[in-house]
Amino acid sequence: MSNDVLDLSKDGYQPLPAQDRFHRSESKFRLYSGGFGSGKSLCGCREAIYHALRYPGSFGMIGRLRFKDLETTTQRTFWQQLDQMQLRKKPYVLDFNQRTQILKLGNGSEILFTGLDDEMKLRSAEYSWMYVDEGSEVPDEIYQTLLGRLRYKDPRRLWITTNPGASGWIRKNFVQSRKEGYDHFHAPTTENTHLPKDYLDSLLADYPAVWRERYIQGSWTAFEGQVFTMADENTHVIDDWEPTKDHLIYEGWDFGYRNPTAVVWYAVHPSGEEPIVVFAEHEAREQMPNWHAAQIRAIYRHFKLDPNQIQRWGDPAGNQVQGLRGRSYVQEYGDLGLYGIQPSTREPSTRALRLGKLLSTQITNKDGSTPAIQFCRRARRTWNSVIGLRYAEHRSNLGQDPKESFHKENDHLFDALGYALMAAPLPEAKPENREVPGITKPFTPDEVDRYEQQRYEQANNSVGMFGIDI
């Protein structure tokens, strides 16, 4: 293999500083992590092509957790780079088998494209090199399997490209303490000077602070202290969904003026065999109740919801007299037809415990298992509020463990959801049928408050809020 084919600038490829360092590294294990648009997949695919050409007769693997994601993202980038290098032709490329997903090169090297979600299949081959894209998605045990299969012939290397995420194996080996033979290259989105300026501007405008740290700066510490570590985009977020006439509808309120007024809706099926689905949200600041009420009624019309059949729960402070003509928020919205907003649990840790339980629990039905709660993509800001919630740091002069509390930042939709979730049925029990005018109500906040607070205190005195080591 002549060196000119591997010249990084030969076909116009101008690697960014981190990409250049990555390509020139001889470490056996390499991590290239960074923000959106920082050239991770391009860099990883280029390295795969270089290895296949540099080591004749090698057998390499390009993988991502789910093959569908690999096919629509990483593999497309690979073909684009192969075309740009003018190598997608003989004698460089001989054949690509669509069924086996194996690419054969003229120098005897082969590349397999595969999903990584079946550990048993990964045990059936030996590889010379491996490239894992979006490596934070991959469970730790898969990496242990991959390392055991890296034994075919030289160069026996593995590299990973990813946004920062929850992978313990990556953190331990590349981020927290650099082991011998492991190298980490970091690139924020801002390093990529080839991106359109409006792309970065849109990310900065749309993302909350913790997401900007993770997905723009590429920070691995952005989510340290995250409350809901069990929240998983791949399982808890679904495409848009609408309730049927059989679903019970719950509405949660967090009142405000300078701070936003936030309202969240979720649906519960009386059978208890479907997940709770958070399907709609409303959030705006510096608007009067009549304006919010108009927006909320529009949501009712869109989803064909009967306002008289909705259970409403909110911040207990909504019953206090505000500067609204000497009236409370609950009274103001009641006059506007949104009556019956009942006071929920004030303690945020108790509400977090309820949501944490739902996020951690799987329910079983005829179709298999599913999380006990899911979020529609149209409720994206509520999801962001949940995963962005972090513990506040406290120091005790008395040496006592402090009571857990949270940063008060972008948490209004989380609060609104939490107020309503206190009335939701627990996942291990089907809803009780209790008749109130026109509504079947499973539980009230008062009935579960003492039980949840007791659970919270027990968990907090042991290993963590949710009874797990976090």
Per the listing, tokens 């945020």 go with 348
In the prediction, which pLDDT does 39 show? 86
Higher pLDDT residue, 458 or 192? 192
Query: Could you say which DSSP state residue 393 is in?
Result: P
User: How far apart, in whole angstroms, are the C-alpha atoms of residue 198 and residue 395?
Assistant: 42
Within 336-405, where are the H helices? 348-360, 380-387
In the prediction, which pLDDT does 7 show? 55
Selection from 340, 334, 357, 350 nearest residue 456 by Cα: 350
Q: What percent of the chain has pLDDT over 70?
A: 78
Cα atoms in the 13 Å half-sphere on the side-chain side of 62: 28
- 348, 228 in Cβ contact below 8 A? no
Whether the pTM exceeds 0.75: the reply is no
Kindly report, residue by residue over 337-396, the tens digit of the pLDDT: 998 999 998 888 788 888 988 988 888 877 788 899 999 989 988 998 888 787 664 343
Asked whether residue 196 carries a pLDDT value surpassing 50, the answer given is yes
The DSSP bridge partners found for residue 343 are: 314
Report the pLDDT averaged over residues 301-316. Answer: 94
Kindly report, residue by residue over 203-216, the tens digit of the pLDDT: 666 565 666 777 77
Of 52-56, 113-117, 367-371, the one with minimum mean pLDDT is 367-371
User: How far apart, in whole angstroms, are the C-alpha atoms of residue 330 and residue 340?
Assistant: 8
Higher pLDDT residue, 220 or 154? 154
Asked whether residue 188 carries a pLDDT value surpassing 60, the answer given is yes
The DSSP bridge partners found for residue 29 are: 158, 182
- 337, 307 in Cβ contact below 8 A? yes
Selection from 450, 445, 452, 347 nearest residue 403 by Cα: 347
Kindly report, residue by residue over 253-300, the tens digit of the pLDDT: 999 888 899 999 999 998 888 999 999 999 998 899 999 999 999 999
- 384, 231 in Cβ contact below 8 A? no
Q: Give the chain's domains with CATH numbers.
A: 3-215 (3.40.50.300), 233-460 (3.30.420.280)
In the prediction, which pLDDT does 333 show? 93
First to last CA, the chain: 50
Tokens of 144: 């242990």
In the prediction, which pLDDT does 428 show? 54
Helix (H) or strand (E) holding 452: helix 445-460
AA letter at 31: L
The DSSP bridge partners found for residue 148 are: none
Kindly report, residue by residue over 423-464, the tens digit of the pLDDT: 887 765 444 443 433 333 444 444 444 444 444 344 333 323
Tokens of 65: 């957790």
**How many angstroms separate the Cα of 50 from the Cα of each of 96, 156, 180, 450?**
18, 14, 24, 62
